[in-house]
Amino acid sequence: MDRDQESEQLQLEFDAKIEELTRTNKRLKRKIFDLYTIFEISRHLNTVLRINDLLDGIILTIIGQMGINGAAIFVRMEKDKKSFALARHRGISLKNDLDIRLSLEGCLINHISKEQNRTYNFAELRTQLPACHEVDILEMCECELAIPMSLKNEICGLLLVTSKIAKTAFFEDDKDFLLILANQLAVSVENARLFESEKVAYDELRKTQEQLIQSERLAALGQLSARVAHEVNNPLGIIKNYLELLAIESGESEKASDFVGIVREEVDRIARIVRQLLDFYRPDEGDVIETNLRTILDETILLVGMQFEKKGIQIVKEFKARKPVAMVSGEQMKQVFLNLLMNSKDFTPEGGTITVSLVRQGKNVLIQFHDTGKGIPDADLDNIFKPFFTTRKGASGTGLGLAVCDSIVKKYSGSISAANHPGGGAEFTIVLPLASKGKSDG
């Protein structure tokens, strides 16, 4: 070989080496860029603490970064330890309300669990698992690559990506990028799940503390109520007796009779407050038996009918449950219904309407009182069942009526709530569990 040929050969080898180094340099630059991108994405993901926002963010990032048509993520949902559910997807022709799951003990997850630190081509999975119906699910998701989301050698999810928009193949660098991103996503999802669990636990603890504080307040109020009732009732009885004597002695004096009447009304008001305080601490239990709530409502409405007629207020009954039976004290529920009706009357203008509805909802009965008054100020809705809170002006309200209703309903495992009706006016809703099956006819 002459010198020119040797020189030409050396030049070719040199050019080949330069080309190889250039390709290596490009791959290294791509690796550095991918790692930097993953670092930035991870930094952002770790600041997102809501799982749904996290999954939405990662799907958009993958679609934009990889230039693909769509992506989907399967993760373990709350209270489901046996499968991965399709939590989020984009760019895939699937209905959002489809409940698509991959069993943790199914053929697909068992297969990829053996080698977690890699990506899987759909064609490869179809060949290796020809009879696996879960591979059909991947096909339905238009899967091109399936990437395990691995954490502590355990698969905690599955990332699926569709084909590239440019219709080109996935390079090894693409697969490495997706694998690192999937593992980072597994960490971020676990962090978000732990945060949500801690938040739920904290909210439960705070709720329990508030209930404990409320219970202590009620206990203190109860003790005070008993002492007040004992110390006040006897003097009130004596005052009322002497008022009757004073009324007789005043004779024909109209002015004296008016004064006596005013004092008598105020004494009765004090007696009502004492009675309500006692109801709060030591309510009359009554007989807790199977009680037809429709009958109790009818009796209560009949009891107040004359007062409502005088004010020109109509009571409309919408009873759709024929025989709703609950294990309650009829007398106590009558007290609740009476309180709510009188409360509605006070805030309903002349010529207004109070609608009382009674319907069955599954294993519960729902009772609603809707008036045509001006409604409840939004700022008061959270406080309306608290002891001594009242929206009445002057001295007409003690703030104990609704608190007593709340304590009675809760005693029977029910709930009571207040809201403003969309059509105007206030609406109080009671939910009570029906008696055992076969004893209630809705």
- CATH number for 28-194 (one of 1.10.760.10, 3.40.50.720, 3.30.450.40, 3.20.20.10): it is 3.30.450.40
Between the two ends of the chain, the Cα-to-Cα distance in Å is 106
Q: Which of 351, 322, 339, 314 is nearest to 428 (CA)?
A: 339
- CATH number for 288-433 (one of 3.40.190.10, 3.40.50.300, 3.40.80.10, 3.30.565.10): it is 3.30.565.10
Phi and psi based region of residue 388 (left: phi greater than 0; alpha: psi -120 to 50; beta: remaining): left
Provide the pLDDT for residue 395.
47
User: 3-state SS string over 135-155?
Assistant: HHHHHHCCCCEEEEEEECCEE
Provide the pLDDT for residue 283.
53
CB neighbours of residue 393 within 10 Å: 7
The answer to whether 28-194 and 288-433 have equal CATH topology is no
Q: How far apart are CA 431 and CA 442, in angstroms?
A: 14
DSSP 378: G
Provide the pLDDT for residue 341.
92
Paired strand residues for 356: 317, 369
Provide the pLDDT for residue 258.
80
Domain ranges of the chain: 28-194, 206-281, 288-433
For strands 154-161 and 120-121, give the pairing. unpaired
Provide the pLDDT for residue 280.
58
Mean pLDDT, contiguous 10-residue spans, the chain (442 residues): 70 74 64 58 59 78 84 79 86 77 90 89 91 90 91 87 89 82 80 76 76 65 69 80 79 76 81 70 68 93 87 93 89 89 90 94 94 90 80 60 86 93 93 75 58
Rounded alpha-carbon distances, angstroms, from residue 204 to 192, 207, 208, 209, 212: 18, 5, 6, 9, 12
Q: How far apart are CA 340 and CA 88, in angstroms?
A: 46
CB neighbours of residue 363 within 10 Å: 11
Provide the pLDDT for residue 441.
59
Encode 291-309: b = buried (16+ Cβ within 10 Å), e = exposed.
Answer: bbbbebbeebbeebeeebe
Q: Determine phi and psi for 418, rounding to 5 degrees.
A: -125, 145
Provide the pLDDT for residue 285.
55
Q: How far does Cα 129 stand from its chain's mean position?
A: 42
What CATH number was assigned to the domain covering residues 206-281? 1.10.287.130
DSSP 50: S
Class of residue 25 by CB neighbours under 10 A (exposed 0-12, middle 13-18, buried 19+): exposed
Helix (H) / strand (E) element for 177: namely helix 172-249
Q: Is the four-CA dihedral 210, 215, 220, 221 of positive or negative sign?
A: positive
3-class SS at 282? coil
> Which of 213-218's residues contact partners 24+ apart within 8 Å by CB, and which partners?
217/387, 218/280, 218/281, 218/387, 218/407
